[in-house]
């Protein structure tokens, strides 16, 4: 049986994962409208992954005797300066998610909830991959700079990443 404290903390994480999904969906829509179809495809896929992360928490909470709640998600930003800004936001947002996962792990240790601690290890590993991928994308964008040809290739290559799972997804689906 899950404690009310862990139940509440995991429900807070549901809110963050769901918001992440909508945030990446908004970014994908912006990119698509601006003609960056590969970036849009990548972000739509990333949005789907975040929803999967949310559902994984839903099922875990309910399976442990808690109650997963659909939160009233905050509306994400919908307008962006450029692709660089989008991926800077993605990177900083993934760091925020990592910090929240780490706080959950710490709470599990304090509460001696080793089952949930074990469950959260998948998220710990996933966040390492998420942060790394965002950092790699930012590095590529720095290399490209203002080169339109480079941005065209970047957009094409990013769109091609999705069939292989966006560069990550070990155990995510």
| pLDDT single digits (tens) 49-69 | 999 999 999 999 999 999 999
Classify domain 4-164 at the CATH topology level: Ferritin (1.20.1260)
Binding site per annotation, positions: 17, 50, 53, 94, 127
Annotation: binding site for Fe cation: 17, 50, 53, 94, 127
* pLDDT score for 172: 37
Which pLDDT band, with edges at 50, 70 and 90, does 161 fall under? confident
C-alpha–C-alpha distance, residues 31 and 71, integer Å: 27
Rounded CA separation 17/31 (Å): 21
Instruction: Give the per-residue pLDDT at 162.
Output: 67
70 pLDDT higher than 50: yes
Q: Do 137 and 158 form a contact (C-beta atoms < 8 A)?
A: yes
User: Percent of the chain, pLDDT > 70?
Assistant: 93
Q: What was the pLDDT predicted at 124? A: 97
The domain ranges of the chain are 4-164
């Amino acid at each position: 049986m899950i404690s009310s404290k862990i139940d509440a903390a995991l429900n807070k994480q549901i809110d963050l994962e769901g918001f992440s999904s909508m945030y990446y969906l908004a970014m994908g829509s912006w990119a698509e409208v601006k003609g960056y179809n590969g970036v849009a495809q990548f972000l739509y896929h990333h949005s789907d992954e975040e929803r999967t992360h949310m559902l994984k928490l839903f099922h875990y909470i309910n399976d442990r005797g808690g109650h997963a709640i659909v939160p009233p998600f905050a509306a994400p930003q919908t307008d962006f300066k450029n692709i660089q800004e989008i991926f800077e936001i993605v990177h900083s947002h993934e760091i925020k998610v990592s910090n929240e996962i780490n706080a959950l792990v710490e709470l599990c240790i304090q509460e001696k909830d080793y089952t949930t601690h074990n469950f959260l290890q998948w998220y710990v590993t996933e966040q390492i991959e998420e942060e790394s991928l965002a950092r790699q994308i930012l590095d590529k964008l720095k290399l490209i700079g203002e080169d339109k040809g480079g941005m065209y290739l970047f957009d094409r290559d990013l769109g091609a990443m999705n069939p292989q799972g966006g560069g990550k997804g070990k155990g995510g689906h």
